[in-house]
Structure 1
């Protein structure tokens, strides 16, 4: 949890205010900035979908005059975006969710004033082609086809170009088109964080484990089913009946229809689980942990946490304190009941995407795309995702 905020702060703690202001001037002077990159730009502006304030869908604005991003650190690359996708976090960020914490990540020295994040480009997923590399980038070169998930505190991918740290980038799976590839990175890395990094499951220890996935038909859920199934787990998926065919095609062994009756009652007829991934939150947390095997190392991981909401409502200091108290008390409570309680968050990682790409090219992971929109229809794509009840991902063809 703390890692979500600390990495960037630790990296920049030694940077003084004067250096920060100097870097801002560098951004405005592309001719100076490009000295740390391998190529020179020919364009200065690009088309993009941006917001100038937080709000409902009408705050989305198309512009032809967004400044093309520049390389400000020698480990960065510029990607020409071929495809992106809309995630629930994009809809939430459009409305202002997480702004307090994300702005602190954007500016750990707190030099900028409120509103300086605008115009803000949303969009976390990208599949495209490397256009330019910083001098420290050794693994990629212009022309490489890559994919990545851009952290929420950075400018996003609903634009012609995006700048990403080299360690957040991976070669695109050869078996996928750009549109297919763009459906995976953010949800895949979110699920990977919960299952592998926090939950401790991998291809060596997952065989025979009983896994329960709550909210199984969305982007994170459909990836999670496939990855734990590829590792040999027995998977029970909770979703609606109309998604049962999808989750079974992806490998689910059992399906619980949350619309046909109380999920808790339906689960009582099943054997207890070794691992639960919760994409739903709310009241599920009050009963889901009762279905874990006690005193066997069984783990419940939720992706629905009050972390960003606490910071939005209480401020940085009080929000962090409240968050620490909440997770600490819940972890201790469930530890004494014989199970592990954990929170998980998205973590950008090129190396993890490398592993995921291998699973994709081996045929063990397939993209699940519900609908694809052209770049001109980004607002309609937002409304689609905002409506909920996803059956996979909503993709944007940028090129």
Structure 2
């Protein structure tokens, strides 16, 4: 659970680079300062797609702390968490961690901007930011307790930001940060996997054709693991194209029956939850350090339904019981959460530029069609990411 609240590593851990004081930089800075309002998609209350509202006079973000940057958004994307947040999921927990300066200017979290991924241009830097300068092309995943990226500009902590891979366009880059950081946190922090430990390991990915699943396949293959993907038959070609060694079509026969003919696994990454948890007890190697990690947890739901104190208690009891149940079978049981991190995106960017990770984009929408993008995501069965194009790349 602590991973959910983990902030990015201190700025001092980043490799230094001095900001250049050029005429171009000063021009970007002064242009940014002159802005007072910007367009954005916001919600003023929680609910269905009808609560999404386009506003062209939202207050322009300002630097509140010396380690922040303002980014002009070229492209963003929509993730399942955005749909859930629109519905009000996790509101009690997330409001606890929102910046007091935001809540100070409003009696509630509204107006709230959704969207987590961003690829764009640095417009302004805080005084302590040494690694970036105005004009840098960057990408990031903004955590859900902050204002989102479905806007012309977004405010981000410099520790959450990384230089965009040179091999990707902004549209491509915007499809990757949130899902890759979620997959990285689950595989590295929860499963204990890494490029040094992955060679020879067998990993099963349940729900492999979505954003996190496609990201996890590519990370694991870049690190030398053997990957088995569970998906529907129409995603078979995509899984193979991404490097999956084995693909299980859950529409043909029960996954349990198909797994009986395969060797046991060292790790399972579960993007679906529910009854699929039972697979861990039968298809992981017992007493070998094998780990099951799920991204579907009751943490935020419990807090929403029971309040923070009772919700945390219920969550703790649930997690402890599941950990013990699996431990008695020789299996490690873990929960996985998204963790923002610019340094991790630095490492991922190297894999991208080396051709080991590539974007998987299902569809691109203009900023005017954000509600349609939400509708598409809610319909399910996406093959990769849904991207929002904010700046026309042809202009």
Specify whether residues 328 and 110 from structure 1 end up closer, same or farther in structure 2 by C-alpha distance, changes over 3 A only: farther
**Pick aligned residue for 1:208 from 200, 215, 222:** 200
Aligned to 2:2: 2
Q: CA deviation at 1:108?
A: 7.0
What is the rounded CA distance, in whole Å, between the counterparts of 1:292 and 1:90 in structure 2? 32
Residue 179 of structure 1 pairs with residue 145 of structure 2: no
Residue of structure 1 equivalent to 2:245: 253
Match of 1:81 in 2: 73
Let me know the Cα RMSD of the aligned residues. Answer: 1.9
Change (3 A) 1:291 1:114: farther
- Give TM-score scaled by structure 1 length: 0.90
Query: Could you tell me how far 1:115 is from its partner in structure 2?
Result: 6.2
CA distance in 2, matches of 1:173, 1:322: 42
Q: CA deviation at 1:2?
A: 2.7
8 Å CA contact 2:67–2:127 kept in 1: the answer is: yes
Q: Which of 146, 151, 156 is matched with 1:154 structurally?
A: 146
Cα distance in 1, alignment partners of residues 295 and 347 from structure 2: 21
Shift of 1:200: 1.0
Deviation per residue, 1:100-121 (Å, 9 max, x gap): 0000011579976996110100
- Alignment partner for residue 217 of structure 1, among 202, 209, 224? 209
Report Cα offsets for 1:103-144 as digits up to 9, x if no partner. Answer: 001157997699611010000000000000000101000000
Residue 197 of structure 1, CA deviation: 1.6
Task: State the match for 1:28 in structure 2.
Answer: none
Q: Indicate the residue corresponding to 2:331 in structure 1.
A: 339
User: What runs of 5+ residues in structure 2 fail to find an aligned partner?
Assistant: 11-28
> 1:286 matched to which residue of 2?
278
Which runs of structure 1 show a deviation greater than 4 angstroms over 4 or more consecutive aligned residues?
107-115
Q: Matches of 1:339 and 1:82 in 2, distance apart?
A: 44
- Please state if 1:45 is matched with 2:37: yes
Q: Contact (CA 8 Å) 1:147, 1:169: kept in 2 or not?
A: yes
SS in 1 for 2:368: helix
Residue 225 of structure 1: how far off its partner (Å): 0.5
Q: Structure 1 394/133 Cα, relative in aligned 2: closer, same or farther at 3 Å?
A: same
Q: CA offsets, 1:367-395, max 9 Å, x none?
A: 00010001110000000101111100000
Q: How does 1:41-190 map to 2 (within 5 A)?
A: 41-106=33-98, 116-190=108-182
Q: Which residue of 1 aligns with 2:350?
A: 358
Contact 2:322–2:333 (CA<8 Å) still a contact in 1?
A: yes
Match of 2:34, SS state, is coil
Distance 1:116 1:344, change over 3 A: same
Q: Which residue of 2 aligns with 1:199?
A: 191
Unpaired segments ≥5 residues, structure 1: 12-37
